[in-house]
Amino acid sequence: AYTPWWRRFCPRGFNAVCTLQTTRWSHNHPTWTFWSVPFFGKWLRRSYKDETIPPRADMEEIPQNHVRVTDLSTDEDLINLAIWEDGGTKQWCKFDLPDPTEFEAVLSAEGKVCLKDCHDMPEDERFYPEGIPKVFFTACHAVEPEVSERFIDRLKKASHAGRLPPPIHFKGHFYESIEELRKHHPQLKCII
């Protein structure tokens, strides 16, 4: 997603390696603990006070590197700029799946093996060259109540029957924990 402030983190252009971008673009479904209150407080203050952020020491002194916080068009823009600006590197594995139909993978699994709809989240060359694990905790875009209800009913029946696999999926297999996943894929950077 190109935004006017993108060049602040990608000084060589949109198609080049964004050397100052510290995580993959995050969709704004944030979760946090009390440890992040100072971070969110700082960025909320910057928004309320209509602050302009000057270039950091590792940035060129050009107009595009001066960012007025209230000019950011979405909360998603703000959270990404804030994370990169502060050098954040932690990022969740994809736990808020794009659509309830993603749960077909869980419902059709046999043990820890995925049999249907087993794709991972798309890779990116820099942060996740092999793809991104899915964690079957929640789904967004649940805009058709009947579809959601059908999946919830099926998940409930499978759970009662003891047929649900563990919640973490990557490369056609389900894993119980991040530790188990990392034994098989130690290069993954996301957290759960």
pTM of the model: 0.82
Question: SS3 helix, strand, coil % of the chain, rounded to 5?
Answer: 35, 15, 50
Distance CA 186, CA 74 (A): 34
pLDDT 10s per residue in the chain (192 long)?
Answer: 556 788 888 887 767 778 889 998 887 777 778 898 999 999 999 999 999 999 988 888 888 889 999 988 888 899 999 999 999 998 888 888 889 999 999 999 999 999 999 999 888 888 999 999 999 998 888 899 999 999 999 999 999 999 999 999 999 999 999 999 999 999 998 888
